Structure 1
Amino acid sequence: MVEISPTSSYYSNSVSDNKKGNEGGVLAQQDFLTLLTTQLRNQDPLSPMENAEFLGQMAQFSTVEGIDRVNATLGQMSAAANNNSSHIAMAANLLGHSVLVPGNTARPDAEGNIHGAVELPSRASDVVVTYSNVETGETLHSQSHGIQSQGLFGFTWDNVPDSIVENRDKVRITVTAKTDEGNLMLDPSVYAKVTSAIGGPSSPNIVLQVEDYGALDTLEVTAFR
């Protein structure tokens, strides 16, 4: 510890200023240098500070400062580890489920249904969702959902034919909205199955592998079933 004569008014003022600048009472590097300079100015000229004592005080402060930096680094590592663990848990929970991805092709889920959603830019007097064969373009099913408000609109085709469900055939989806501006062709999003998850120490995030759509970062997941 730095020892300074209590009779020094400069010392008293410096300590007072340091307490104001550091409410926690912890000396920072600038505070240490200020106090050390005060000590040197007020030392007994007949018995000056020994070099060993001076170096010892410098080493002591450097050690304390180094410990603080190590603690801060460990805190950051711990936070990163916790964050990574939460992403792994999320990815594990999503395996076998379906996530919402932008796209116009979908497959039946385990219950034999096809789900999706579309963002309506304005109120629509009718929203028509059409399902067709990906290869031939043949219309398989069509739904008229009537009046819908602006915003995200979800749709479902249940009772998909057994032949499509058994083979998990891909179905193309088109969405048309009738608005005051006319008929609008909209880009839908569909629910697609999560088949696996990939992660590693070089990245804090977990990447999902989604059937038919490839890689998707967990941070990009907005909805799942």
Structure 2
Amino acid sequence: MSLVNNVLNTSAQNVQSKSGVSPNSTSSTGSTGNPFLDSISLPEDSGVPEAKSQQLTQDDFFSLLSQQLSMQDPFKPVDNDQMIAQMASFSTVDGIGKLNDEIGNLNSLTTSSQALQASGLVGRKVLIPSDVGYSSSEDPGIKGVISTPAPMQDIKISVEDESGQLIKTFIVDGREGGNIDVSWDGLDKNGVPVKEGNYSFKASGSVDGKAQELAVSTYSHVSSVSLGTASTGAILNLRGMGGIKLADVLAVSET
């Protein structure tokens, strides 16, 4: 038995010396030291494959079309009209996708251009469809426009604060009709300047012998301009009033 063991040990040492692998060592690549086992072992995974796009491209379409033509029944070939219709449909879809991208770029360009134009309104006053105006220490007065359906003798203006408390009332001549300018100096009924804040105009007049509420628009100071989005356009930030779309502005005043 000792002779057999010596022969086996000698054979194993010869194999190890030829392969260059020690009996107690393993290869960093997963080698077992046995040439037969190494030859049938599965290769290691090189990494996670990259995710492929799930969208069909024009190359995919033509590949599918080629497969369709190669697998067609020679006795019932694909009609030329059908093939042309398929190609035309794909071209239409591809064209619509490119058109959408161009429209998106055009919207972005329009928004930027609109914001650039709106920046010229900073420091100016714009007429907005609201009966609320802002009175500040630097500019206590509030101006507005009253829209009348017909000429009337007198128009009664009531100025109220944010809580709805009556601050002052005065009369405006409405005999010209149409849009009547109105201005308040920022003083209450006792001639005392009001505190800084928002104040609303309530206008009423007599139309065909009946009292009627009239629409009022006020001027507000533009402090800054925001870009906004493609759907909203440029946004004008009004002093003490928040933001308003540029498209909602009714008029622009010099002061």
Q: TM-score, normalised by structure 2?
A: 0.48
Deviation at 1:69, TM superposition (A): 8.0
Residue 128 (str. 1) matches residue 156 (str. 2): yes
Map of 1:153 onto structure 2? 180
Per-residue CA deviation, residues 144-192 of structure 1 (Å, 9 max, x unaligned), is: 314132x32221234x449637x53433322121221422122312112
Residue matched to 1:92: 119
CA distance in 1, matches of 2:221, 2:146: 18
CA RMSD of aligned residues (A): 4.4
> Do residues 174 (structure 1) and 210 (structure 2) align?
no
> What is the Cα deviation at residue 88 of structure 1?
0.8
Match of 1:96, SS state, is coil
Provide, for residues 131-151 of structure 1, a one-character-per-residue CA deviation record: whole Å limited to 9, x for no partner.
345554232x513314132x3
Classify 1:200/1:182 alpha carbon distance in 2 versus 1 (closer, same or farther; 3 Å): closer
* CA distance, structure 2, for counterparts of residue 156 and residue 171 of structure 1: 12
Unaligned stretches of 5+ in structure 2?
Answer: 1-91
**Which structure has the larger Rg?**
2
Return closer, same or farther for 1:127/1:72 CA change in 2, 3 Å cut-off. same
Q: For residues 76 and 129 of structure 1, what CA distance do their matches in structure 2 show?
A: 48
1:114 has 2:156 as partner: no
Amino acid at match of 2:251: A
Aligned to 1:57: none
Alpha-carbon contact 1:134-1:171 (below 8 Å) kept: yes
| Partner AA of 1:164 in structure 2 | P
CA distance in 1 between partners of 2:246 and 2:192 (Å): 33
1:1-225 counterparts in 2 under 5 A?
A: 76=103, 79-99=106-126, 100-107=128-135, 112-135=140-163, 136-139=165-168, 142-149=170-177, 151-158=178-185, 160-161=186-187, 164=193, 167-200=195-228, 203=231, 205-225=233-253
AA at the equivalent of 2:216: P
- 1:137 corresponds to which letter in structure 2? L
With over 3 angstroms needed to count, the CA separation of the structure-2 counterparts of 1:75 and 1:108, relative to structure 1, is same
Counterparts of 2:202 and 2:228 in 1: how far apart (Å)? Answer: 38
The count of corresponding residues between Structure 1 and Structure 2 is: 171
Q: Contact (CA 8 Å) 2:174, 2:180: kept in 1 or not?
A: no
Q: Quote the Cα distance in structure 1 between the aligned partners of 2:147 and 2:224.
A: 28
Unaligned runs of 5+ in 1: 1-64
Asked if the contact 2:115–2:226 (Cα under 8 Å) also holds between the matched residues in 1, the reply is no
Contact 2:158–2:203 (CA<8 Å) still a contact in 1? yes
Change over 3 Å in CA distance of 1:103–1:138 after alignment to 2:
closer
